[in-house]
Structures are given as C-alpha cells and as structure tokens.
A and B are shown apart, each in its own frame.
Chain A
Amino acid sequence: MAELPQGAAAVPEDVQSNVLLTTIDWIYNTGRTFSLWPMTFGLACCAIEFIVAGTARYDLSRFGMEVIRPSPRQCDLLLVSGTVTKKMVVPIVRLYNQMAEPRYVVSMGACATGGGPFKEGYNVVSGIDKFLPVDVYVPGCPPTPEALLNGFIALQQKIKKQSVRTVPWYRKDYTGEIPIPVLGPDIFGTAPDDMKRVREVGLNRTMAARAAGKLTIAELHYQGADEYVVIRNSGLAQDMTGWRLTSGQGDQSYAFPAGFVLMPDAELRVHSGPGAAAPAANDQVWTRQPVWHNEGDAATILDADGNVVSSFSYKGS
C-alpha cells in the first residue's frame, strides 16, 4: 500500500512487506464498491440499454458489476430501469424488501426519476422515489450506456464515502422494510397518513352521496300468508318516530314504533297477513290480517309531518 491512512501505527521494518494496514471502512467500502451485483430486472426501454451496457462494447464488468443475478436475495443493486406503473410498483417494493443490506437503488432514465413523458398517465407512478430511497439518478430517455456507467461510477464514489459506523443498516432500530402499497381503486400507501387521506376522500364522497339518497319502498310482496313491504334506506340514518305506512285500497295505516331508527343501507320489512312473523331485528309485524289486495294496491310512506316520502303501486296478477 502506497498510502497509509492517517494515524496508522508504525510497523516494524522486517514485517512491513507482509502487513497491510488500513481502516475497516476502507476495506468495507472497497469490497462493496467493486462487487456491486445488479439485479436482472428490466422494466422498459432503459433495460435494453442496461443489457447493452453489459455487452462487449461498454463492458460493465470492468467495474465489478458483471454478476447480474435474477434473485433479489443475492443482489446489492436495484436498477429501476424504466417507467414504473402502479401495477408494477407493488412487486418492485417487494423486491426491494427482499434484498439484503447493504442495498442501493439507481433510478435510470426520466420515467423512473420523475415519470418522464408518461408522467401524467393514470397508471404511472411519477418517480420511484415516491416509494423507494434512491441513491443515484441517471438522466436520459433512455440514458446511453455511457451515462449509465457514469451513474454507476457515481454510486461507487458514494459508497466509498460511507462509513460502517454511520450507515443506517447496522443501527439497532433499523428495519428497512418499506410498506408495500396496495392496489385499490387507485394505488395507495399503507402508512397511517395515507390511509387517513384515502378514507377521507372515500367517505366524504359517501356522505355527499348519502345526503342525496333517501328512503324508498323497494319491494312489495302481496301474495301468500306472509305479505311484506321492503323499505330500503339509501340515505342517511333516519329516525322513523311518527312515520306511517299506508295502503291505498284498504286505507289502512301502520305507525312505526317510537324511536325506531333505520340505518344507512339497511332494509326494513313490514309483515302482515296470517303468517306474519318478524325473523330479523329490523322486521316489524303490522297485523295478522291481510292488508295488500291481490288485484292491485298502492303503498305510501309518510313522514312525521304527513309528507309523502315514497310510494309504490302495483297492478296485481
């Protein structure tokens, strides 16, 4: 070794030619710098330039990177080479989590860096750095193999400046796991903040839709021993105290029990006839007498003020 690190202890003359003194950091960094194993993982156009960078003309092997491995377990370098779509980012994050530390991410090309020409697409993630920590960005569309090599050299320089004592992956509290995003109606992260935002957007829309929805008579089964009316609530929760259900032909009226609340999306059945029974919690029994005429009838719901909320008529069989 021509240059000894500063502060190195003096070595006896007779063993000088057999001893090599250096720092742990130097050994550690040199080892990692010249054995970066990239993963065989092509996304799009840039991957072709990556393949070409491995061939004879550009010869990636000169930099200690010729061992390209298909398994993330054996790799140090995740080269994100192309447009990251929402559908693809889930496997990418999973692959990153499967890599052993130390691990590095190079974002190759405009798409992986910021979405590139496809940034505004509905299925495109505008940059892998929204999900993964990126070490080096290589610009270009696609970057030429020379530009990619330059990016790799930049990464090597970065690695050479790291120290065993400060790198994050030897700290006690380090997990390094990136939460895997979920493909829902759109992609969303699983961090608490993301979940909160998604829930707010989803539920606010629900509230708006609910406010416009209302309570309706959905079905009327007038035949058989057990006749029943199905009332469905597509609006907000409704207190039905003082509400009535009336039949048009017989001019009969049923008052809902006081304090009865029909929840959103819930169904209520009002049974009548000799076989009337209330199997579910929401079900009500009106009377043991038949109410609905088989020749045709009309049912109406009136609210506490006597306004018609919903009506339903049928012609009979």
Chain B
Amino acid sequence: MSDATTEISLPYSDVLPGAVLAIEAGIDGESLVLAPSKLPAVAEHIRDSEGYDLLSNVTGVDYLGYKGRTAADRFEVVYHLYSTTRGGGPKVLKARLPEENPALPTLMPVYPGADLQEREVYDLYGIRFTGHPNLRRILLWEGFHGHPMRKDWKEAYYEAESKPFKSRHPDGHHAWAEDRNPWGSNVTYPDGFDPETWNQPVFMRPLEGRSGNGASGSLKTDRIVVNMGPQHPSTHGVFRMIVELDGETITALEPEMGYLHRNHEKIGERNTYLMNMPYTDRLDYISSMSNNLAYAIAVEKLLGEAFQPPERAEYLRVIMAELTRIVNHLFSVGTFFNDLGAFFTPLFYAVREREMILDMFESVSGSRMMCNYMRFGGVAKDLPEGWLEMCKELVFERLPGKLDELERYLVGNEIVQQRCIGVGFLSAVDAIALSCTGPQLRGSGVPYDIRRAEPYSIYDRFDFQVVTFPGCDVYSRFLVRMEEMRQSVKILQQALKQIPEGPVQAAKAQGAYTVRPPVGDVYGRIEAPKGELGFYLVSNGSGNPWRYRVRPPSYINLNALGPMVVGNKVADAVIILGAIDIVLGEVDR
C-alpha cells in the first residue's frame, strides 16, 4: 500500500487515461473512484493484470443528505474484488452517479457473477446497468412502486410517526401504533392508479425459442415450462424455479426469489448498530453464530482498536463459529439426502448431534437457533459452569465417531454415487467467474477459504486444511462438507485445549449499547459455512448505520444455478439446488 501523499499519480493513467478520478483512503485500504463509463475496462485490466478474479460484493449506496454529497454524486455503486490465488485484502472500486437517471455499464462481460447483485441494486435503488441482459426486479415484484432502499422512499408501514408515546397508557387508555397507522392505509400509489384496470405484470421473462427437437433425435418433442415453487419440498424454503423442459431434460432455468424478502437492509438502517445483531441471526438461520461473528467483525473494523476482543472472547468466537459450521453442514447433508430421495432417514441421523450442539448454544446464549451471542468487542456472556467439559466430551468423544458413521452410511453408497457424480458440473474457472464461494467453490477444486486467504479473528493460529475436491460436481460439494466438519472438529480440539481465562468483552465495549463509529465505510467478511459472508457498512458518525449491506453467500452462489442445471434432468435440478445449500433468509434477506 502506498502512502497517501498528494503527488502520487492516479493509477492506470498510462493504460486507461481518465478512468480513475480519485483515490480515497479508507479502513479497507484505498478505494478507486472511477468514471462510470470506464468501469468495465478498469475491471478487466485489474482482473487480467493484477489477478483480482473474484467479484465478491456489488452494492449500491444512496448518499442523499449525507454530509458533503450533492445531487451530482448521490448514488454510489461499490465493488469489492478479491484474488483467489493470492488471498489478501480487497480492491475497492466505486462509481458515483447523479440523482437524475443513474446508470452505468454492467460488469457482466468481465465478471458474470455480477448478474444477481446488479439486479438487486437495480431493484432496490433504481440504478440501471446498461447492457445487462435481464435487468428486472429480483426481490420485489414487477409493478412495485418505487425503489425502497432510496433514502427518500416513503415507508408505508414504518410506524415512527405514530409510535413515540409519552405513556403507553395516556389517560388510563392504552393506544396501539397499529390503530394510528392502520395496515394498508399509508401506502403510496403511483398517480392515477386504478385497481380495476390493473394487470399484474408477468413475472417470467419469456424464454427464448429453441428447437422443438430435443436430444431424442428425430422424435418431435414439445417444450413445456414447469414451475417449481415457491411451495415445493425441494426448494428449502420459498424459492421458485421456472424450468423449461424438453422431455425430462432442462433446457432453460429462471430463478425467482424474494418470497422471503423481509427488508433486512432497510430495517438495518434505522436500527442502531447493536440492534442489528439479533437480526443477523435471522439471515442464515441455520448458522446464526457465524452471522453474528461476521457482523461483529465488520463493526469492530469500523470502531477501531479499542473494540478488539480479548483473548478468551476470540476463542469463544472461534468455538461457536466452528460448532455452527458443523451444525450447518449436518443439516445441509441431511436435507441434501431428502432431495436425493432418501426421505428423512439420513436427516434423522444428521440432526441428532446437531441437537446436542444446539443445546450447548442454548445454555450459553439462551436460545437454540437465534443465539445473538456476539457483541462488539467480545461476546455477551461467559460460559456457564461445566460447559467446556460438555463441549470437550462432544468434540473429542462423540463427533469424530459420528462423522465416521455418516461417512460409512453415505459417502460410499452406490446409489448416492450414481445420482451425484458428474451431476451439476461447474468448472473452477466458471465457479470463480460466477462469484461462487464456500463449499461450492472448493468443490470445484479451488482452494479458497477466507480463514486462510485473509485470516480474521485468530484463525491464523490453528492447524487445519482447506478442503477441496476436484470433481466439480454435486458429489464433490457433498464431500467438501463432510470433510470440512472433520477440519472444524480439528480446530475445535485445538481451541478447546488452548482457551485461556479472562474477560470476554473489551473493557471499553462493556455496556456500550449505542456505539457511534467514525465516518467511513468498511467491508468485513468471514468464511461462513455457506461461503463468504460479508457486511458492508457505511457510517456517518451517528448511532445508526447509513448503509447496512449483507453480502449473502447463498444468494450469490445461485448465480451458478442456471449454468449448472441446464442440460441435466429435472430430478437433478433438485439435488443441484440442494448442494448449493441455500437458506432463503439469507437469499432474500
């Protein structure tokens, strides 16, 4: 990193003159402010000459009313690029856009993984990406009025105006905020909206015409469009796939999501930093501790040195995060076998130890699933008495045998291999280009694990392997999860032996209910069980985040769903989706 003196010339001025407008120093290092029209050229140059091959995060920010911003640079689109070969920190690119008709060229030709994230920015901010092949709303529905993440969008159901009462019982009567702001009365409709003449726009993009003659050769077959979801047992929640079939073979697929879009990011902007912690539990609700950790790490980066957690807290965080990884992979493997047709029996075996871990979570945090355990600068509470002994027994005695058992039943099973090997092929190059992370990327043979590539917390102290399998198929992803559980056990064994006594929260952080981080933006990320979970936060110095963005791994891994599924049979689509391991709370937020 170069020192931020004024005389240094702007980067890439030799190859791409005028592309970089300014350099901004920040917590994540320098970020480049680019001319929007030059963005794809700069990204291509950075990817090819510097090896930043993974487009991790794309997000929009609305700076309306932010200090120092005007209508000419109201919107900002932020890109975080990483290198899967070198590891290390991000390359941050920013493009600033005016209030009037904000648009910039799409990054899809350079990073195909920008697809879903750009659609999300368009949906929530109304920023257009010219050249994007399918720029439609993704979380909300076609016909929705306005772009809700904009700061000037009126929130229909937010009860701030009707809520602050001096007393819950003024004059002896209680009042409900709902009565003052009845459901459905505070809505904004476009001018002249008439419900009688309203036609709900069609959700689905008409699929392009293909030849009616399929793989069956001379036999003439019709193409049919089948809708799977949002109520479908295989979709792990409310996810919808619109598939076009030629016989049993899938010729096209369109994912449709947003059925669980519960406005996490908008709510996050009006909460204080600490109030968002329990909300992060509900992102990937299988692995709440990991979500807590990612958010705590991001905010601590913003808060600075005084909020660095003490030693014991770091160990507790690692222990919880790795237990969560086991919980998640057990559940993922169990439901994966549901999808394969082994209905519920493998899941019964898989969740038995999950229940034990959840009991330990409950005893430490008070809740089985929504733990809300981490705090800025540490964790909420120290362990209850006897917890470590219980955990040691589980980790040293029970889990290794359990994993052997699962492996004996599942991994070598002939039917499993027949169904899985070669299905859902995703090459390493494609996986990186499509911004895949986590087991999906490592199942394509790319040894990229943030615990190793950019170690956070105290992961640099532990001895573990980055698990990869070269098969590039569903079976490899399954094996990665099985093996990662062993590695998690290995980390846990080390952590449980080494954990020191001491405080569990930094001195300054104790009782800090409302933290006010300094002005700036930060991107903090961890290797969550499903992939790279990141939080992009913008602070304006107040107690609420200006922008609270979640980089959800399973949402972005869905970029690869279409490429993996097309050409397979319809029954395979179910297991390919199962092997991505999506959780809709995180996909739709």
Residues of A within 8 A of B (CB): 39-45, 47-49, 51-52, 54-57, 70, 72, 82-83, 85, 87-88, 91, 95, 111, 117-124, 126, 130, 141-142, 144, 182-186, 188, 194-195, 197-199, 201-203, 205-206, 209
Contacts and interface: CB of A to CB of B under 8 A. Distances in A.
B172 to A, nearest CB: 24
Given A43-B237, A88-B230, A120 B155 contact: yes
A186 B262 contact: no
Nearest to B271: A117
B193 A44 contact: no
Interface in B316-356: 331, 344, 347-348, 351-352, 355
Interface in B354-369: 355, 368-369
B260 A202 contact: no
Contacts of B148: 122-123
B263 A209 contact: no
A72 B157 CA distance: 31
A131 to B, nearest CB: 11
Contacts of A201: 187, 189, 193
Given A52-B351, A56-B348, A124-B262, A185 B193 contact: yes
Contacts, number: 176
B183 interface: yes
Contacts of B193: 184-185, 198, 201-203, 205
Given A122-B156, A184-B143, A87 B261 contact: yes
B582 to A, nearest CB: 12
A49 B369 contact: yes
Contacts of B139: 123
Nearest to A202: B193
A206 B264 CA distance: 32
18 contacts: A42-B238, A45-B282, A45-B585, A55-B352, A57-B351, A70-B233, A82-B260, A87-B259, A121-B267, A122-B158, A124-B157, A182-B195, A184-B193, A185-B187, A185-B189, A188-B184, A202-B193, A206-B192
Contacts of A141: 370
Given A48-B369, A88-B238, A188 B282 contact: no
A205 B231 CA distance: 37
A15 to B, nearest CB: 45
Interface of B: 139-141, 143-145, 148, 155-159, 178, 183-185, 187-196, 198, 200, 230-233, 236-238, 258-264, 266-267, 278-279, 282, 285-286, 331, 344, 347-348, 351-352, 355, 368-370, 584-585, 588
Contact of B189 (A42, A142, A202): A202
Best-surrounded residue of B148, B263, B331, B344 (most CB of chain A within 10 A): B263
Contacts of B261: 85, 87, 123
Given A91-B231, A124-B157, A57 B352 contact: yes
A185 B233 contact: no
Contacts of B145: 185-186
A88 to B, nearest CB: 4
Contact of B285 (A45, A124, A130, A183): A45
Nearest to B275: A117
Best-surrounded residue of B192, B196, B588 (most CB of chain A within 10 A): B192
Given A121-B266, A183-B144, 7 more contacts: A43-B238, A44-B285, A49-B369, A85-B260, A182-B198, A195-B195, A198-B193
B519 to A, nearest CB: 27
Contacts of B141: 87, 183
A122 B263 contact: yes
B588 to A, nearest CB: 8
Contacts of B370: 45, 141-142
Best-surrounded residue of A41, A91, A123, A197 (most CB of chain B within 10 A): A123
B195 A199 contact: yes
Contacts of B231: 39, 41, 70, 72, 91, 95
Best-surrounded residue of B148, B187, B238, B588 (most CB of chain A within 10 A): B238
Given A117-B282, A199-B196, A85 B262 contact: yes
Contacts of A45: 282, 285, 369-370, 585
B503 to A, nearest CB: 30
Contacts of B140: 87, 123
- The 6 A-B residue pairs with the shortest CB-CB distance in the complex, in nearest-first order: A121-B263, A185-B145, A202-B193, A45-B285, A118-B262, A206-B192
A186 B188 CA distance: 8
A203 B192 contact: yes
A278 B231 CA distance: 57
B185 A44 contact: no
Contacts of A209: 191-192
A142 B266 CA distance: 22
Contacts of A142: 285, 369-370
A54 B347 CA distance: 10
Contacts of A183: 141, 143-144, 200
A194 B184 CA distance: 9
Nearest to A182: B200
Given A88-B238, A120-B159, A184 B278 contact: no
B355 A57 contact: yes
Best-surrounded residue of A83, A95, A124, A195 (most CB of chain B within 10 A): A83
A55 B286 CA distance: 16
A49 B355 CA distance: 11
A130 B267 contact: no
A2 B282 CA distance: 50
A30 to B, nearest CB: 27
Contacts of B278: 117
B183 A118 contact: no
Contacts of A198: 189, 193, 195
Contacts of B195: 182, 184, 188, 195, 198-199, 202
A184 B331 CA distance: 37
Contacts of A197: 184-185
Nearest to B284: A45
A71 B187 CA distance: 35
A88 B198 CA distance: 19
B192 A202 contact: yes
A103 to B, nearest CB: 15
